Amino acid sequence: MPLPLYVPKETKEHEKRVALVPSVAAKLQKLGLEITMESGAGKAARIPDSAYTDAGVSLGSVEGAKLIFRVQPPSLEDIAQMPEGAVLCSFIYAQREPAVVKALQERNITCFAMELIPRITRAQAMDALSSQAALAGYYAALLAATQLNRILPMMTTAVGSLRPARILVMGAGVAGLQALATAKRLGAMIEGYDVRPEVKEQVQSVGGKFVDTGVNAVGEGGYARELTDEEKQQVEAVLTRHVQQADAVITTASIPGKPSPKILTEAQIMGMKDGAVIIDMAAEGGGNTPLTKPGETIEVGPVSIIAPLNITSHLAEHASELYSRNLLALVTLMVQDGELKLDWEDEVLAKSVLTHEGEIRNDAAREAVENQSEGAL
């Protein structure tokens, strides 16, 4: 008997992505899944119902589903409608959404949180954080290009040449490297900074100059160590010089489910060039600057701070496609011959499971739920 999969329409405001695209539906069917979608689930991503029905997908409700795909965390109402014991694959961000975790636990839902997929080689195809971050980095570079009151590349004209814009990207993870690469393709002079000196070669590989503060922050076991006061002053002095020489600064420092670290100071911002822009990619967690207003574009002193929310939703077609592929790769670990078989010896499943059989399996999520319960007393 085929395994019933249900994909609902996303309900969070401004969310345009969908957890399944037609091209991936055919591959899931080969695994033995019978797919039902809520009518209109792909509409915001410009994928009509007919594209799904042509791929053999039925339109209907969540009733009877054994497996559910989502992009954003479900609402409490969504969870109440899920069949008890179903398996949910979705972003959850448990530390921000303890009430959702508690509801999943009480509904006996086995939930795999996509943000918990471990960063190991065999899980790369399942790493939805990285696939979405790459698109967000691309979009951030385009935002910088369109928000500046100047062009990015050097341009030679009959009346002389225009110099290229200088873009500094702070944080050389997946999003940062893609922002650097895109800005480079648009003709900007690019610089990248990260507290991890080992990413220097990655910044250079996309044509960027690595901002070297002269301080190695790597401590025992490869983790970042606490800097001395003298080292902190040295790092800030070097960064301030590069920040204030930049036409645009793109900040990418975010921690899934936690507040974003502040990596630019108000003093650094106030010393930037007139007309400079900051693209704050960490607005979901409050932003990387003390002046950021998530979801807004503001002018502060000499600069504009642009802090978009849910950046990848602006690229819904390709974001949905990549996310669907991530889910397909994950499901291949848990479906055999059309049946759900969860192998808890598998590192990917063991580390990404949030709730199972009425238990919260993730320590940070459990702590968040307990803290919420204590706060309610």
pLDDT digits (tens, 9 = 90+) for 149-165: 999 999 999 999 999 99
Q: Residue holding tokens 């969504």?
A: 78
Fold assignment, 3-127+315-368: Rossmann fold (3.40.50)
pLDDT on residue 228: 82
Q: Which of 70, 90, 127, 280 is catalytic?
A: 127
Our answer to whether residue 75 is catalytic in this structure is no
pLDDT on residue 225: 65
Looking at residue 84, its amino acid is: E
Asked if 123 and 114 touch (Cβ cutoff 8 Å), the reply is no
Our answer to whether residue 6 is catalytic in this structure is no
pLDDT for residue 46 is more than 80: yes
Asked if 50 and 73 touch (Cβ cutoff 8 Å), the reply is no
pLDDT for residue 376 is more than 70: no
Q: Is the CA virtual torsion 205, 210, 216, 218 positive or negative?
A: negative
Q: Which of 124, 204, 336, 373 is catalytic?
A: 124
pLDDT level of residue 1 (50, 70, 90 thresholds): confident
Query: Span 327-346, mean pLDDT?
Result: 93
Our answer to whether residue 323 is catalytic in this structure is no
HEC assignment per residue over the chain? CCEEEEECCCCCCCCCCCCCCHHHHHHHHHCCEEEEECCCCCHHHCCCHHHHHHCCCEECCCCCCCEEECCCCCCHHHHHHCCCCCEEEECCCCCCCHHHHHHHHHCCCEEEEHHHCCCCHHHHHHCHHHHHHHHHHHHHHHHHHHHCCCCCCCEEECCEEECCCEEEEECCCHHHHHHHHHHHHCCCEEEEECCCHHHHHHHHHCCCEECCCCCCCECHHHCECCCCHHHHHHHHHHHHHHHHHCCEEEECCCCCCCCCCCCCCHHHHHCCCCCCEEEECCHHHCCCCCCCCCCCEEEECCEEEECCCCHHHHHHHHHHHHHHHHHHHHHCCCEECCEECCCCCCHHHHHHEEEECCEECCHHHHHHHHHHHHHHC
pLDDT (tens digit, 9 = 90+) per residue, 120-130? 999 999 999 99
Q: What is the mean pLDDT of the chain?
A: 93
Phi-psi sector, 314: left (phi>0), alpha (psi -120 to 50), beta: alpha
pLDDT (tens digit, 9 = 90+) per residue, 58-113? 999 999 999 999 999 999 999 999 999 999 999 999 988 999 999 999 999 999 99
Q: Which of 72, 90, 130, 260 is catalytic?
A: 130
Our answer to whether residue 119 is catalytic in this structure is yes
Q: Which of 119, 229, 274, 337 is catalytic?
A: 119
pLDDT on residue 226: 66
pLDDT on residue 375: 64
**What number does CATH give the domain 134-314?**
3.40.50.720
Asked if 173 and 255 touch (Cβ cutoff 8 Å), the reply is no
Q: Residues, the chain, total? A: 377
Our answer to whether residue 178 is catalytic in this structure is no
Q: Which of 50, 161, 223, 337 is catalytic?
A: 223
- Please list the residue range(s) of the chain that carry CATH number 3.40.50.720: 3-127+315-368, 134-314
Asked if 343 and 70 touch (Cβ cutoff 8 Å), the reply is no
Decide the pairing of beta strands 248-251 and 339-340: unpaired
| pTM for this model (two decimals) | 0.91
